[in-house]
Chain A
Amino acid sequence: MLEVTGIPTVEDIEKVFPSKERLKIGPVVVMECFQNIPCNPCYTACKTGAIKEFEDINDLPTVDQSLCNGCGLCISNCPGLSIMVVDMTYSEEEALIKIPYEFLPLPEIGETVKGLDREGKVVCEVKVVKVLRGKSLDKTPIISLAVDKEYVKIVRNIRLGE
């Protein structure tokens, strides 16, 4: 389906989403990389050894979730913008997700924006907690969003304004 629609299915997401047990521990990476293409900057960017070295550059990335601390260095290094970080320990009701966002204007910290699903449909409102845009991110800012936990597997983008 993904190769016809461009939208990862629920099953696709389940395959790469960390286990409930891992999510309880703290922030962790989610890599929505489903196609064998020649690409390995996520491995090069990872400083904790969580993203394993590629035997073949066309392999899908493999993550040792026990080594991932959710730092998010890989997010802005992924040419496919396919990586996000999820932190289910952010608060009782909300999860924190960190996503790449390459559009202007950038959202303001504290702003409430529309949370979009993988098809670009508005599903809920989300709060912007942090906007990272340092030089090392090379024009791929990382937005941290507080998302109602029930939407954590659904929200993958934002829309500003009305």
Chain B
Amino acid sequence: MRTVELLVVGGGPAGLCAAIQAAEMGSSVILVERSQHLGGQLIKQTHMFFGSEKQYASKRGFDISNILLDKIASLEKITLMQSTTVMGIYEDGVVTLEHKGEYIKVLPKATIVATGASEKTLAFPNNDLPGIYGAGAVQTLMNEYGIKPGNRVVMVGAGNIGLIVSYQLMQAGVEVAAIVEGGPKIGGYLVHASKVRRMGVPILTRHTIKSAHGKEVLEKVTLWQLDDQWNGIPGTEIEFGVDVMCIAVGLAPLSELLWQAGCQMKFIESLGGYVPTRDENLQTSVKGLFVAGDVSGVEEASSAMVEGYLAGMSAASYLGYKLYNMNEVKENLLNQLDSLRHGQMGEKIRKGIAELQIEHEAAASVDA
């Protein structure tokens, strides 16, 4: 059995920042990442980030990942375990891991779960044809492995991911036939929408996929218009000959470990599904178990990083490591989160998070 002060689960933006903050305050950290690469979704993001300088705004996602990884490499207190999957969190606090066939048990004094989110999908006839991908898979192929996923694509979803991946597909030389959005409005940032519109890509709001066609692989898709009750309107069908369909209809928190650990969970639609209740320090209803990033509510990577720093600081403080100006740092991080969520786009997020707030005795021990 290995012992460690802090176990961080997930090496994406939230987990990296959490590990950095906790290690800088003096805690020993094991950072576990399922993939062989650290950086999570950041390494696939070729666009410039929004936010302010504090969240590396105007830098590209993969460059932000490199900044964080350089920092991680400079911190001796952090032990990295890539290609390692957390199997379970048990009542006695033991966490089990699998690494290349090896079974490992760890007993941490505190844990930060930063497992991120997984893609939602869409039900329609033939949705299992090869050529139909989630947006994350398309980004992995293109931006991680340099493989063009096909020649002509229909994108499903005009949220930020659908818009950004459409733009990246065009940069890779793939034609985007159309972006299809079930809702009455574009869900993502309008500047992203304008970027793809001026490349000549139509955005069809109030439309969805009726069916996919193809013998062995995707050859064609049929779209149709939706009425106000989200029912397809017969007679409005449009067909596109495409070899790729990319589905970007939202994310759901990867919260299995939190369920297993016994965290109190609530269904908050605007945050992507079931998410844990937490106090201001991002401690869940389970003492010593903290959360950060999309697993605690789907948002942008900018807020995931800030949450990571906050959870890292809270966990280190819980373990007895303090900063002389901890209240000030915490205030600053909370202010950053507040301003990232302050706009009209952040309104639903704010409401959702407000429903999750808990206060428990343990919270007092985190504060200075």
Residues in chain A within 8 A of chain B (CB atoms): 2-8, 32-41, 44-45, 56-58, 77-82, 102-104, 116-121, 138-140, 156-157
Contact = CB atoms under 8 A, between A and B. Distances in A.
A138 B60 contact: yes
B52 A7 contact: no
Given A4-B205, A35-B189, A116-B198, A57 B60 contact: no
Chain B binding site: helix, strand, loop or mixed by DSSP? Answer: mixed
B199 A120 contact: yes
Contacts, number: 130
Contacts of A118: 194, 197-198
Interface string B35-62: 0000000000001111111000111100
Contacts of A35: 189-191, 344-345
Interface size class of B (residues with CB under 8 A): 35 or more
Given A45-B58, A77-B58, A79-B48, A7 B197 contact: yes
Interface of B: 47-53, 57-60, 63, 158, 170-171, 184-186, 189-201, 203, 205, 302, 339-346
A119 B342 CA distance: 30
A83 B298 CA distance: 29
A3 B58 CA distance: 23
Contact of A6 (B49, B194, B344): B194
A57 B342 contact: yes
Contact of A79 (B57, B203, B343): B57
B84 to A, nearest CB: 33
B339 A80 contact: no
Nearest to A79: B48
B240 to A, nearest CB: 17
Given A5-B203, A35-B189, A36-B344, 5 more contacts: A40-B57, A44-B58, A56-B342, A57-B340, A117-B198
A156 B196 CA distance: 12
A4 B206 CA distance: 10
B200 A120 contact: yes
A8 B194 contact: yes
Given A44-B53, A79-B50, A120 B198 contact: yes
Given A33-B191, A38-B343, A81-B191, A6 B48 contact: no
Contacts of A104: 171
A118 B202 CA distance: 11
Contacts of B171: 102-104
Nearest to B185: A3
A104 B186 CA distance: 27
Contact of B198 (A37, A40, A57, A156): A156
